Chains A and B, each alone.
Chain A
Amino acid sequence: MIDRSPGTTVAAAAAAQAARTRMGYPDSLLEDLYRRMLRIRYFEEEIHYHISRGHIHGTTHLYVGEEAIAAGAAANLSDLDYITSTHRCHGHAVAKGTALSGLAAEMFGKRAGVCGGKGGSMHLADPARGNLGGTGIVGGGLPIAVGAALSIRRLGQDRVAVCFFGDGAMNEGTFHESVNLASVWKLPVLFLCENNQYGVSTHVRRSTNVQDLSLRAAAYGIPGRKVDGMDVLAVYEAVREAKEYVKTNGPLLLVAQTYRFLGHSRSDANVYRTEEEIASWRRRDPIPRFRERLNEEGSFSEDRIEDIEEEVRREVDAAFRYARACEEPGLEDLLRDVYAD
């Protein structure tokens, strides 16, 4: 990890580093991207384990398979940049840099959770790090991102708002209203669509007449771009360019093609898609794919890669041990924080 202060992105720190690898990126950036993806993957696998054993109640929407998007995007953002998230919000929260202990504790409904145990799986937030939170309402976060960008503009800040949403949200009215308003006012919002092909069980072919979702940008007079959401470096590059673009020109729509390897939520039996389809996307798994590329780099020996994996594994394990051990909120918390004083 590159040491950084708020306001410094990994990207900026990396650019300052002269040493370049064969891929044309600083070592430190490659390691950072790999760590971010691993954190999300291991975190989600732990959630999957605990929820299937009934240690965590409620439902959950896992991000496994989509890690390259959150990791590649967040590596371009500082704590001062904003994100809005979705019901599938774990990956975004992890990538944005929130301590895993607080996120895991939230999943277990503990007082030490990032939301004091009151938010849960769909509402992970960390406003101090620019994460304005997940929402259980599909499309609900788009207007919030526009508002954050409006503040950025009004306060004259050098920041961006990145709005994560899915292919399903693209058919909500808030998508149209939000992209339209942001484009009229040229606000610094990156609309980052994670097209994981399905809205619950309905394939995007059956929900949307235009298959290239980036074409919708034309309706708002803004650029629409596509990126392979299974390739963390491609996402990193696309978001790096998009971030610079939106700061001076207003919004941009970036559509990342991806796939969720697991079901929509806890109750999903995957009856609407074939094993073959899942397997074909798993062959594009962003993590082993990036690992191979790291291996080809001179400076990433197998030992070094394994060390990184081991370290992240220990970090995730510690977070879950902590989360399970810490105390539940008490009834004295029940009525608290409905209103600010």
Chain B
Amino acid sequence: MRTDAGTGARRPREISYAQAVREALREELRRDPRVFLMGEDVGIYGGTFGVSAGLIEELGPDRILDTPISEAVLAGAAAGAALTGTRPIVEIPFSDFLSLALDQIGNQAAKMRYMFGGAVRVPLVVRSPAGSGTGAGAQHSQSQEAVFCHFPGLKVVVPSTPYDAKGLLKTAVRDDNPVVFLEQKLLYKETGPVPEEEYLVPFGKADVKRPGSDLTIVAWGRMVGMCLAAAERLESEGVSVEVLDPRTLVPLDTRAIVSSVAKTGRLLIVHEAVRTGGFGGEIAALVADSEAFPLLKAPIRRVAGFDIPVPYSPNLERNAVPTPERIEDAVRDLLVQGEKRPAGRTGSVRS
């Protein structure tokens, strides 16, 4: 905490999302000698997005391990190390590359505990930046959280703010299960308040990023900020939008989602990942199967990435995933439907 000059009021310092992740890494590495970080270029290079910058100088090459470009063995060795008394954190430079490690994450690490009758714990974290917006094309821009949610045994975290990124990563490192931690590459430079004193953010606890009464948006990762901005603009039109960030998709705070929808009567789900098979479908289904269903005043709607590989050209790339316009249009459309007024004012773009 620091004191504002003149007023004497204390406000939390602001740091970037990347700094928040780095602080979590540093604190957990210092707290527990069993923890180590390994990955491609995490050492002197400081990580592909600079997240681990300075850690090797501070903690030494014994704790921060540069590796060959070998995603499968990194994930599998993390599982093997986790079984045998250490607590690895693996950085994979782009989450698209996790498909190269998917057998080790989904078939090995995720299943070991159950498959071996509860005889083992597999405390590991795979950190990887996800998302589009960097002009890196179809194989460096995906949001694949739903893939990992489909492997029982994994926990899946998608932090949307520096505060959450730090608190959730510290929780992930202390968790005794394999955690897929999907950082948002476009948020790395975004800043936000992060206390200097230690804190943890628990798994399975959604956060109401903005309270509202007319409609619930469930969004995670980079989409949270976009939805908050949309909600602010919609407020000037007299629309009160609640933005709920589940923060962890596995475990999922079902209760928070259902009770928010029961309150507002309308649900819009926003995710950057492609629509088909996206985790939004799961949320829609669980609300449809809940006590909030009869309280719905409008259909459940999703705004998601189109079912295409992420394109390169800036205008195409920007429009491949949800935009503020699509989010606002969807909100207006749902409100019109809910009040049974004729649509037409909004020119809605579905999905």
Taking Cβ atoms with an 8 Å cutoff, the residues of A that contact B are: 82, 84, 113-119, 123, 125-128, 132-133, 135-137, 140, 142-152, 154-155, 161, 173-174, 177-178, 180-181, 184, 336-341
Say whether B115 faces chain A, with CB atoms less than 8 Å apart. Answer: yes
Quick one: which of B67-82 are within 8 Å of A by CB? Answer: 67-68, 70, 72-82
Q: Determine which of A116, A137, A147, A336 lies in contact with B78 in the assembled complex, contact meaning CB atoms within 8 Å.
A: A147
A152 lies within 8 A of B73 (CB): no
A309 to chain B, nearest CB (A): 32
Q: What are 12 residue pairs bridging A and B, where the CB atoms are less than 8 Å apart in the complex?
A: A84-B80, A114-B119, A137-B103, A140-B108, A143-B79, A148-B81, A148-B84, A150-B77, A173-B72, A336-B118, A337-B117, A340-B176
A181 lies within 8 A of B68 (CB): yes
Q: In the bound complex, what is the Cα–Cα distance between A140 and B123 (angstroms)?
A: 19
Q: In the bound complex, what is the Cα–Cα distance between A128 and B118 (angstroms)?
A: 12
A147 lies within 8 A of B70 (CB): no
B113 lies within 8 A of A340 (CB): yes
B116 lies within 8 A of A151 (CB): no
- Residue of B34, B36, B76 with most chain A CB atoms under a 10 A cut-off: B76
B68 lies within 8 A of A146 (CB): no
Q: In the bound complex, what is the Cα–Cα distance between A190 and B45 (angstroms)?
A: 32
Q: In the bound complex, what is the Cα–Cα distance between A154 and B104 (angstroms)?
A: 21
Please judge, given known A-B contacts A148-B81, A150-B80, A173-B72, whether A341 and B114 are in contact too, CB under 8 Å.
no
Q: In the bound complex, what is the Cα–Cα distance between A183 and B220 (angstroms)?
A: 41
Q: Which residue of A lies closest to B82 (CB)?
A: A147
Other 16 A-B pairs with CB < 8 A, given A135-B107, A144-B83, A147-B81: A116-B117, A118-B117, A140-B76, A142-B73, A142-B76, A143-B75, A144-B77, A146-B73, A150-B88, A152-B84, A161-B80, A174-B72, A174-B104, A338-B153, A339-B155, A340-B122
Contacts of B76 in A (CB 8 A): 140, 142-144, 146-147, 174, 178
Q: In the bound complex, what is the Cα–Cα distance between A161 and B121 (angstroms)?
A: 19
B72 lies within 8 A of A147 (CB): no
Say whether B152 faces chain A, with CB atoms less than 8 Å apart. Answer: yes
Taken residue by residue from 79 to 113, chain B's Cβ proximity to chain A (1 for < 8 Å, 0 otherwise) reads as 11111111010000000000000011001100011
A181 to chain B, nearest CB (A): 5
Please judge, given known A-B contacts A143-B80, A151-B84, A151-B86, whether A119 and B117 are in contact too, CB under 8 Å.
yes
**Which range contains the number of B residues in contact with the other chain?**
35 or more
Q: Which residue of A lies closest to B111 (CB)?
A: A123
B34 to chain A, nearest CB (A): 8
Contacts of B142 in A (CB 8 A): none
Contacts of B86 in A (CB 8 A): 150-151, 154-155
Taking Cβ atoms with an 8 Å cutoff, the residues of B that contact A are: 34, 36, 62, 67-68, 70, 72-86, 88, 103-104, 107-108, 112-123, 152-153, 155, 176-177
Q: In the bound complex, what is the Cα–Cα distance between A174 and B153 (angstroms)?
A: 22
Contacts of A118 in B (CB 8 A): 114-117
Q: Which residue of A lies closest to B124 (CB)?
A: A147
B114 lies within 8 A of A337 (CB): yes
A132 lies within 8 A of B83 (CB): yes
* Pairs A-B, 4 closest by C-beta atoms: A147-B80, A143-B76, A116-B117, A337-B118
Contacts of A147 in B (CB 8 A): 76-84, 88
Q: Determine which of B62, B67, B115 lies in contact with A133 in the assembled complex, contact meaning CB atoms within 8 Å.
A: B115
B79 lies within 8 A of A119 (CB): no
A181 lies within 8 A of B152 (CB): no
Contacts of A155 in B (CB 8 A): 85-86
- Residue of B73, B83, B153, B176 with most chain A CB atoms under a 10 A cut-off: B73
Contacts of B74 in A (CB 8 A): 143, 181
B60 to chain A, nearest CB (A): 13
Q: In the bound complex, what is the Cα–Cα distance between A126 and B177 (angstroms)?
A: 19
Please judge, given known A-B contacts A181-B67, A338-B153, A339-B153, whether A148 and B80 are in contact too, CB under 8 Å.
yes
Q: In the bound complex, what is the Cα–Cα distance between A154 and B87 (angstroms)?
A: 11
